Amino acid sequence: MCFGSKELIAWAMDKTVEKVAELFAEKHHTLFLGRGAQYPVAMEGALKLKEISYIHAEAYPAGELKHGPLALVDADMPVVTVAPNNELLEKLKSNLQEVRARGGQLIVFADGAAGLGNGEGAHVINMPHIHDVLAPILYTVPLQLLSYYVAVLKGTDVDQPRNLAKSVTVE
């Protein structure tokens, strides 16, 4: 198999996300966090995880973490965070420390310039650095892959999720 540099990065990221999915297979609840434009990305990640793996997942604006969700964080609740290197990163790092202080298991999607590393209950998936305007597009794909691999590990039918109906109809 021959890869160009872009294909090799995509393949490596895919394998990393597949490995991180193993952390979710036996979990029942997950929290997704994002700040600014990354909050809708977190919402999409939570929705996909619910739809195809049947794990309760909730997205929350990271700045509102102390208003409820933080009380639920423990070692049995993975917290997925979208953390591009932008003007909100330092505030997001504070949220990550709050999760770590409660023994939470962090899965962080971050570009290398964010300065976040693995360890102390954190699993960092390195993302390429990209302009803020394009970051939501880039970060959505690995969250969808994460949901896919969790569903595969759980043995659910990713092509026909239960009770999922079309919401768009022709009038």
Give residue limits of the domains in the chain.
Answer: 9-152
pLDDT digits (tens, 9 = 90+) for 45-84: 999 999 999 999 999 998 888 888 888 998 899 999 988 7
Question: Between the CA atoms of 5, 6, 12 and 16, what dihedral angle is there, to the nearest 10 degrees?
Answer: 150
Give the residue ranges of the chain where pLDDT is below 50: 1-3, 8
Q: What pLDDT does residue 169 have?
A: 62
Using CA atoms, how far apart are residues 123 and 116, in angstroms rounded to an integer?
9
Would you say the pTM of this structure is higher than 0.75? Answer: yes
Provide CB contacts within 8 A for 162, sequence distance 6+.
Answer: 54, 156
Write the class of the CATH domain 9-152.
Answer: alpha beta
